[in-house]
């Protein structure tokens, strides 16, 4: 009464005031045990000749639906929707209060876009490709003679972009302030638009981190495109199997795994103590921690690929051949770490965008036990999907006599990732 309202809170770690409870050992052990059991059962019982047919599989959707989704009007409408949402975001960012509790812009970026793209892409396919406001911007003035992108580039620029975004979300100080967000946006726009001016809209498929992220997650969607261009319903395994082995796929997957793992680590009190007492300062230490997490994920994968190469000299590209099987594991990590953020902060952001000032956080949809089950189930499901995808790829690439032995390094890797993922949820 006598004192004024409290000053706006500078949140040091993105959006959201509540973290998930650490996992109780019971759920952790149950999850780890299931993962191990399924891995060895899979090794023993799964099929011995490849079953997945990648982009040749799928049941075509009815012709009317095909025409509707491919219609020029639908595409234009989606472009306009994406552009309108981007302008709405920009207007809030520029004109709204510089306070994440009152401005929906930070939540729109860190929650609705980053986390919301996961379920959207899983259900509907590569949605960001259709909504991407940068594509709308480019369609206003197409570059006259776009140069093709060198084949060695692949999706490496997007991997770098994803790493930078993760740094912004998990490490950067004041990452919900207008100044920081505008700087990040300016850098993003500059890189994307300069690239697109040179290479045309194709650049976004290689370099826009959100588009690549959405397109990779969409590999697990039941909706997809067959090789003949038809929109089909298909098994997520077939979609996963058709993941193009572009350069940078391994890097992208390792960035997703490593940064999500770092998100789990950053809640650990020991890591917090390290950050606060480090002589380098918290930001530099956190940056090193983030890079180390990505490097660790990549090193484990490199080690595994090296072993695969030793087992089968004919395997030309051991690194990229199995990278797709890590996507479900990354998806499991993402779900386990960000589910409650989306469920709690997502509606709050929408309420704020709808005009509610300082909207209250809705109650979490799951109790502690329900959330623990969901987290463990997500990680174990990701693991199982990964094991199955790797198994199928392995029986295709290895001669039958060595197929089982050939999978062992991958199994070891996946078990390491999964136990690590569960371990980080306990920490």
Please give the size of the binding site for other proteins, defined by CB under 8 A. 47
The window from 142-150, 181-189, 393-401, 409-417 that contacts other proteins (CB under 8 A) reads: 181-189
- Answer for which of 45, 73, 179, 401 binds other proteins (CB under 8 A) is 179
Closest among 227, 221, 240, 242 to 129, alpha carbons compared: 221
Q: Which helix (H) or strand (E) holds 60?
A: strand 59-60
Residue 49 or 277 having the CB closest to other proteins: 277
β-pairing, 223-225 vs 59-60, is unpaired
Assess 208 for contact with other proteins (CB under 8 A). Answer: no
Assess 182 for contact with other proteins (CB under 8 A). Answer: yes
The window from 62-70, 189-197, 198-206, 289-297 that contacts other proteins (CB under 8 A) reads: 189-197
Q: How far from chain centre, in Å, is Cα 124?
A: 15
- Answer for which of 30, 38, 50, 88 binds other proteins (CB under 8 A) is 88
Residue 222 or 364 having the CB closest to other proteins: 364
In the complex, the smallest distance separating the C-beta of residue 36 from other proteins, rounded to whole angstroms, is 27
Distance separating alpha carbons of residues 221 and 227, to the nearest angstrom? 16
In the complex, the smallest distance separating the C-beta of residue 95 from other proteins, rounded to whole angstroms, is 6
Non-local (6+) Cβ contacts of 52 within 8 A are 235, 237, 238, 240, 241, 389, 392
Assess 355 for contact with other proteins (CB under 8 A). Answer: yes
Assess 269 for contact with other proteins (CB under 8 A). Answer: yes
- Answer for which of 43, 51, 267, 412 binds other proteins (CB under 8 A) is 267
Signed CA dihedral, 416, 417, 422, 427: sign only: positive
Assess 401 for contact with other proteins (CB under 8 A). Answer: no
DSSP result, 324-352: GGGHHHHHHHHHHHHHHHHHHHHHHHHHH
Assess 190 for contact with other proteins (CB under 8 A). Answer: yes
Signed CA dihedral, 348, 130, 254, 390: sign only: positive
- Answer for which of 77, 91, 233, 316 binds other proteins (CB under 8 A) is 91
In the complex, the smallest distance separating the C-beta of residue 25 from other proteins, rounded to whole angstroms, is 13
In the complex, the smallest distance separating the C-beta of residue 157 from other proteins, rounded to whole angstroms, is 17
- Answer for which of 72, 277, 400, 401 binds other proteins (CB under 8 A) is 277
Residue 48 or 276 having the CB closest to other proteins: 276
Distance separating alpha carbons of residues 62 and 86, to the nearest angstrom? 32
Residue 151 or 277 having the CB closest to other proteins: 277
- Answer for which of 37, 41, 68, 95 binds other proteins (CB under 8 A) is 95
The window from 41-49, 177-185, 307-315, 387-395 that contacts other proteins (CB under 8 A) reads: 177-185
The CA-atom distances, in angstroms, between 235 and each of 39, 59, 166, 247 are: 20, 10, 30, 25
Residue 330 or 344 having the CB closest to other proteins: 344
Residues 1-30 that bind other proteins (CB under 8 A): 1-3, 6-7, 9-10, 12, 17-22
DSSP result, 149-195: PPTTTTTHHHHHHHHHHHHHHHTSTTTTSHHHHHHHHHHHHHHHHHH
Signed CA dihedral, 206, 207, 211, 217: sign only: positive
Distance separating alpha carbons of residues 135 and 171, to the nearest angstrom? 29
- Answer for which of 62, 72, 73, 141 binds other proteins (CB under 8 A) is 141
What is the token pair recorded at 348?
């709050």
CA contacts within 13 A on the Cβ side of 237 = 15
Assess 189 for contact with other proteins (CB under 8 A). Answer: yes
φ/ψ region of 11 (left if φ > 0, alpha if ψ in -120 to 50, else beta) reads beta
- Using CB under 8 A, list all residues that contact other proteins: 1-3, 6-7, 9-10, 12, 17-22, 83-84, 87-88, 90-92, 94-95, 137, 140-141, 173, 179, 182-183, 185-186, 189-190, 193, 267, 269, 272-273, 276-277, 282, 355, 357, 364, 367-368
């Amino acid at each position: 009464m006598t004192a004024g309202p409290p000053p706006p809170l500078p949140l040091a770690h993105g959006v959201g005031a509540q973290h998930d409870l650490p996992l109780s050992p019971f759920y952790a052990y149950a999850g780890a045990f299931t993962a191990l059991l399924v891995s060895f059962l899979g090794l023993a019982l799964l099929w011995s000749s490849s079953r997945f047919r990648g982009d040749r599989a799928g049941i075509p959707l009815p012709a009317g639906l095909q025409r509707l989704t491919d219609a020029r009007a639908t595409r234009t409408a989606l472009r306009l929707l994406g552009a309108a949402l981007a302008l709405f975001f920009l207007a809030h960012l520029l004109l709204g209060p510089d306070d994440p509790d009152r401005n929906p812009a930070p939540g729109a970026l860190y929650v609705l876009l980053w986390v919301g793209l996961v379920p959207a892409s899983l259900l509907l396919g590569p949605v960001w490709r259709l909504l991407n406001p940068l594509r709308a911007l480019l369609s206003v003035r197409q570059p006259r003679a776009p140069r093709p992108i060198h084949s060695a580039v692949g999706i490496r620029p997007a991997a770098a972009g994803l790493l930078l975004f993760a740094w912004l979300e998990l490490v950067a100080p004041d990452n919900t302030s207008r100044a920081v967000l505008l700087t990040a946006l300016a850098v993003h726009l500059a890189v994307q638009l300069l690239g697109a001016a040179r290479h045309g809209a194709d650049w976004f498929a290689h370099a826009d981190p959100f588009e690549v992220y959405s397109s990779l997650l969409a590999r697990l969607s039941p909706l997809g495109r067959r090789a003949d261009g038809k929109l089909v319903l298909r098994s997520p395994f077939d979609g996963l199997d058709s993941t193009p082995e572009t350069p940078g796929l391994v890097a992208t997957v390792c960035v997703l795994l490593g940064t999500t793992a770092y998100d789990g680590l950053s809640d650990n009190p020991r890591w917090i103590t390290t950050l606060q007492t480090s002589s380098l300062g918290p930001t530099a230490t956190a940056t090193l921690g983030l890079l180390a997490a990505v490097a660790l994920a990549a090193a484990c994968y490199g080690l595994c690929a090296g072993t695969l190469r030793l087992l089968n000299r004919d395997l030309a590209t051991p690194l990229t051949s199995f990278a797709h099987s890590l996507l479900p594991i990354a998806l499991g990590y993402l779900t386990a770490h960000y589910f409650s953020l989306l469920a709690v902060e997502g509606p709050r952001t929408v309420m704020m965008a709808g005009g509610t000032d300082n909207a209250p956080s809705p109650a979490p949809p799951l109790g502690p036990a329900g959330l623990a089950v969901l987290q463990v189930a997500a990680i174990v499901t990701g693991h199982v999907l990964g094991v199955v995808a790797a198994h199928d790829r392995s029986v295709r690439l290895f001669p039958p006599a060595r197929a089982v032995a050939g999978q062992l390094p991958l199994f070891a890797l996946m078990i390491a990732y999964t136990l690590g993922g569960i371990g980080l949820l306990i920490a």
